[in-house]
Amino acid sequence: MPSIDNMISDVELRLSHAKPSDDFAIPREQIRFWLDTASASLMSEWIKKRNGGEVPAQIIKPYDCLLVQTEEDTCVGSCNTRQYIQLPQNSDGTTKGILALSNDGGIVQLMQGSNPIMRVTNIAQLGMNLKLEFSSKFAYFVRVADKIYLFNGVFPSYCKLTAYIASCDTTDMADTENYPTIDELIPSILEQAEKIGLRELQTKIDLQDDGIPT
Mean pLDDT of 24-40: 91
Q: CA separation (Å) from 181 to 24, 61, 163, 199? A: 27, 12, 19, 24
In single-letter form, the type of residue at position 130 comes to: L
DSSP per-residue letters across 35-49: HHHHHHHHHHHHHHH
Domain boundaries, the chain: 4-200
> For residue 45, what pLDDT is reported?
96
Residue 146: pLDDT band with limits 50, 70, 90: very high
Better pLDDT: 76 or 4: 4
> For residue 24, what pLDDT is reported?
61
pLDDT digits (tens, 9 = 90+) for 13-24: 998 875 555 556
pLDDT digits (tens, 9 = 90+) for 102-130: 999 999 999 999 999 999 988 888 889 88
pTM: 0.82
Question: At residue 25, does pLDDT exceed 90?
Answer: no
> For residue 169, what pLDDT is reported?
96
Mean pLDDT of 1-30: 83
User: Which percentage of the chain shows pLDDT scores above 70?
Assistant: 87
Beta strands in the chain (DSSP E): 60-67, 69-72, 81-86, 107-112, 115-119, 140-144, 147-151, 160-166
> For residue 207, what pLDDT is reported?
45
Instruction: Give the helix/strand (H/E) hosting 196.
Output: helix 186-200
> For residue 20, what pLDDT is reported?
58
Mean pLDDT of 162-172: 96
Residue 206: pLDDT band with limits 50, 70, 90: very low
How deeply is 7 buried, as exposed, middle or buried, from its count of CB atoms within 10 A (0-12, 13-18, 19+)?
buried
Mean pLDDT of 149-168: 93
Question: At residue 202, does pLDDT exceed 80?
Answer: no
Give CA–CA dist 142/50, Å, rounded.
27
